[in-house]
Amino acid sequence: MGTQQILLIVLSVIIVGIAVAVGITMFNAQSVNSNRNACIADMNNFAASALAFYKTPTSHGGAGSTIGNVVDSTVCNYIGVGYTAPNQLSTDNGTYTITLAGTVLTFTAAGTESGVTPVTTVDFSSSAIATTP
């Protein structure tokens, strides 16, 4: 009778260990997914603000729909959320780098969870915002 009880205890410990490992894996996957969604939401807000900056008249502190007036640092100042360095914004969800190439402004995220690097682009010529997770 004693060996059966020990066998059941060992089997129970193995099953509980497997359940804990699966639970940790599921929690980590959800954490990464939540951080990616939060970064995408942040970047969509930044992109909308950047587009508003582009369309705002210069007399009101915007770019006046002139691409020559759009500079990465002025966009960062206009957005005003966690402006930490030139061409960089920061929130609790991650750090965002801004680059301007022609008429396309790109936000690249480095999320707080590893592997979270979505990208959002704003095309000022067509007023299009696109995000790739």
Where along the chain do its domains lie?
2-132
Q: Is 53 exposed, middle or buried (0-12, 13-18, 19+ CB in 10 A)?
A: buried
- Does the structure show a pLDDT above 80 at 29? yes
- pLDDT value, residue 86: 76
CB 118 within 8 A of CB 98: no
Statement: residue 89 has pLDDT above 70: yes
Structure confidence at residue 82 as a pLDDT band (50, 70, 90): low
> How much is the pLDDT for 118?
95
Give the helix ranges, DSSP H, for 56-120: 72-79
User: pTM score, two decimals?
Assistant: 0.79
The four Cα atoms 71, 77, 79, 85 give a dihedral, to 10 degrees, of 90
